[in-house]
Amino acid sequence: MTADNAPSGAAGAPAHAPGTIYRRLLPFLRPHAWRMGGAIGCSIAAAALDAYSFALLIPFLNALFGLPTLLPVKQSWLTRFLQLTIGALLDQSDKMASLERVILIILATVAVKNVFVWSGGQLGAQLQEYVTRDMRDAVYGHLQRLPLAYFTQTRAGQILARILTDTDQTKALITQLVTSSLQNISLLIAYIAVMFAVSWRLTILGLVIGPVVTGLLQPLLRRLRRGHRRLRNDYGEMMSVLQEVVSGMRLVKSFGAEPYEERRFRAASGRYSRGMMRITKLALLSQPITEFLGTAVAVAVLWVGAREVLVDHTLQGAQLIVFLTVVLRLLPPLKALTQLPTTAQASFAAAERVFEVLDAPSETALDRGTLTADPAFDTIAFDDVSFAYGADQETVLSRISFAARRGSVVALVGPSGAGKSTLADLIPRFIEPTEGRIVLGGIDTRDITLASLRALTGIVSQDTVLFNDTVRSNIAYGAEGRFSDAQIEAAARAANADAFIRELPHGYSTMLGERGTRLSGGQRQRIAIARALLIDPPVLILDEATSALDTESERLVQEAIDRVLLGRTVFVIAHRLSTVAHADLILVLDRGRIVERGTHAVLLAERGAYYRLHALQYREVEDTAPVSA
């Protein structure tokens, strides 16, 4: 299964309703409730003060036109409120002084309003950034606990896009929900209240635009949502190509594959750009629709209002001017709210991808084990074990049965693709058997908790993973604080690594660079062996630990491995048969089945599959005694 059709990355996955996504965001919002409450409070206060500053224009204009400052055609709650707040400051006999006082009050109101706007913006910015951080941390933490199969079915670029880009894109929902939507809603409520106080007829006419625009935009919004989801997957594919090329640049250059990789990236980049243009074309339709309808309603309000002033005499000129001013101020927040569903589709699509990761069942959730693994187990036994990666896929392992006694060395050999690494992955339960069971000390490993089972297991593989950290931290990886410097250095000496480590610029405190690029292949392997020796696991898996090394490095690594083998149950995967000649049991696998089993001498004497593999490597038939490792 590829990332394109995996459940976690499918563009056609069922979309969640916006309300569902907002509910999913609530657990991330709760720790920051005080910031959210403060941002909401500041938005409401700023909106109220903004509407009040426009209402103050009524007495200002009445005084300017020589009319009674607070004696409109009919009393309303707004007139009474103005009378209560500034009535004592207005002098009917001194119009100029009254105008000056109103101007000063307007300035003070606007100044206080902007203090609330700034405070609300600060709290809103903190809210969105901290919630985004928490989401990013939650996705990363959950990824750490997902089964290994998730990472084999999902491309690295898709995973990186979910952790970094999608979580950042999701914060727009928080911004629009708190710092934008709530502020605009508060402004709308305050403006509409003033408009109703001036003229309820004109207000009803002016509010027709909202539901009309919302209804017209619904088909557009559904298409945008689907388009944004496809776009996020295209972005993940583009990042996957980039990640693969950057990590494999040595291979690209050695094969002269720069033109091929450039074409591959251009194709992914082109798909993303074409998707972006399709979405932009749709998104830009909402603005002309909204603006045309808004202009039509504004013209209608102007015509009806002029008629009420000039013909019906139910409205004063000052009130109509204030009403039209408020309507003009109403249009930006109304426009922002009507376009919010359009602009939010990208964030909804990103949030869905984030929650798909969080909804994927973790290993802990899937683990039904309740028992603790016994480090003093007597055997590890495979009982008729089969494994396939999916119901429709070819079986990788079929009816595997054998027993490894405690302290024995079991070698797994065979051609590439025979199932050796898959068999080894079953031991620490990176994957689960499709049929049969694996028994550790008489207990099915599925009944043992993952943590205690993996605490028994150490792994040294051909592709050694080192981190951009100190040598000391790489050896004590995952066990910070558990081991002293003396223990770390003792493990390095046992792994034949102490000598070259001390020759590094800062010894054990030397930073190794990304993936340990400062070290040779043999040195990286010895660091990995030191890591395994330090935790002292009773079960050790050696996966092609020496296959890519030169003769001298192989000798040093093999000496270290020989020390590792002592007192442990070891599973060795190897192509070089000389490295497994000492094994207590050699299993020869072919196409997922055990075709031969026995010791080195016995298998050579049988002159079967193992004999042929041995002959291919040495170009002659060896009927001698086992070769020493």
**Tens digit of each residue's pLDDT (9 = 90 or more) over 518-527:** 787 778 888 8
User: How far, in Å, CA of 180 to CA of 336, rounded?
Assistant: 8
Query: Which of 181-185, 327-331, 344-348, 445-449 ranks highest by mean pLDDT?
Result: 445-449
Please name the residue that has the structure tokens 């003093």: 376
Tokens of 62: 């009445």
Burial per residue of 520-529, b for 16 or more beta-carbon CB atoms within 10 angstroms, e otherwise: ebbbbbbbbb
Q: Mind listing the domains of the chain with CATH numbers?
A: 18-364 (1.20.1560.10), 368-456+570-629 (3.40.50.300)
User: How far, in Å, CA of 499 to CA of 502, rounded?
Assistant: 5
DSSP state of 470: B
Q: What is the pLDDT of residue 589?
A: 92
Model pTM greater than 0.75? no
**Amino acid identity of 562?**
D
Ramachandran quadrant class, 66 (left: phi over 0; alpha: psi -120 to 50; beta: rest): left
* Edge-first strand listing for the sheet containing 585-590: 457-461, 539-543, 569-573, 409-413, 585-590, 593-598
User: Of 191-195, 308-312, 424-428, which range is least confident?
Assistant: 308-312
Q: How confident is the model at residue 621 (pLDDT cuts 50, 70, 90)?
A: very low
pLDDT at 370 over 90: no
Q: What is the pLDDT of residue 347?
A: 79
pLDDT at 235 over 50: yes
How many of the other CB atoms lie within 10 Å of CB of 145? 15
Q: How confident is the model at residue 390 (pLDDT cuts 50, 70, 90)?
A: low
Residues with Cβ within 8 Å of residue 527, at least 6 apart in sequence: 464, 466, 471, 474, 475, 492, 495, 497, 516, 519
Tokens of 255: 């094969």
Question: Quick one: average pLDDT of 183-199?
Answer: 80
Q: What is the pLDDT of residue 437?
A: 93
Question: Quick one: average pLDDT of 397-407?
Answer: 91
Please choose, from the candidates 424, 450, 400, 341, the residue with its C-alpha nearest in 3D space to the C-alpha of residue 597.
Answer: 400
Residues with Cβ within 8 Å of residue 580, at least 6 apart in sequence: 409, 411, 413, 572, 574, 586, 600, 629
How many of the other CB atoms lie within 10 Å of CB of 555? 14
User: How far, in Å, CA of 326 to CA of 50, rounded?
Assistant: 10
β 593-598/379-388 pair status: unpaired
User: How far, in Å, CA of 203 to CA of 426, rounded?
Assistant: 71
Query: Which of 39-43, 347-351, 621-625 ranks highest by mean pLDDT?
Result: 39-43
User: What SS3 state is found at 183?
Assistant: helix
Q: What is the pLDDT of residue 13?
A: 46
